[in-house]
Amino acid sequence: MSFQEAHEVNPARRVFVSYIDKSREYYLAQDYGNPYRWAYNRDVPFAPLAKPLAECRLGVVTTTSLATGDEPADLAERPPKRAYAHPVDPIPERMFTMDLSWDKEATHTNDVGSFLPLKQLQGFVAKGRVGSLSPRFYGLPTEYSQRKTNTIDAPDVLQFCREDGVDVALLVPM
């Protein structure tokens, strides 16, 4: 048996997962019409670092939500999300992730460090690799509507970053 067969991949197909392909087929199978049109941009804005990272304040953006312990299981009871800012200290012991699309069969999100690297970043600040960590991290809603992200949520996150004097940002989707 070859290595690939032993690991259940088919080398005659692209091994890397295309989430655009997977989700399109999945929602078509759920009888949703009109496949989702993902953002596609030909031009990409690029801001070079204005000073060494060791002098920069870094802000972290997550798509997860603060865990309250009483999140309604019923989608219909969950109000629309807004971007939020929350103190980095103390680092939350857990975050609410069940409303997001991630691989709930293959893994879990019980370790916040696996998707929100605040503790690791504090370590790099202590070593002088990064100037400082923003006193708050930022929550970003995942939105079907690109217009809502572009006109409401992204500007909200920018505003938080400016309030906290953030120089560079690290963003982690699930």
CB of 125 to other proteins, least distance (A): 11
Closest separation in Å from C-beta 3 to other proteins: 10
81 contacts 65 by C-beta, under 8 angstroms: yes
Q: Which is nearer to other proteins, 66 or 129 (CB)?
A: 129
- Residue closer to other proteins by CB (options 18, 68) is 18
Shortest Cβ distance from residue 69 to other proteins (Å)? 20
Spatial CB neighbours of 84, under 8 Å, sequence gap ≥ 6: 66, 138, 139
In our burial notation (b when 16+ CB lie closer than 10 A, e otherwise), range 79-118 reads: eeeebbbeebeeebeebebeebeeeeeeeebeebeebbbb
- Shortest distance, position 6 Cβ to other proteins, whole Å: 9
Task: Between 66 and 107, name the residue whose CB sits nearer to other proteins.
Answer: 107
- Closest CB 113 distance from other proteins, rounded Å: 5
Q: Which is nearer to other proteins, 38 or 87 (CB)?
A: 38
Structure token digits, residue 170: 């690290």
Residue 110 to residues 27, 67, 69, Cα–Cα distance (Å): 28, 12, 14
The amino acid at 87: P
- When the beta carbons of 16 and 89 are compared against other proteins, the nearer one is 16
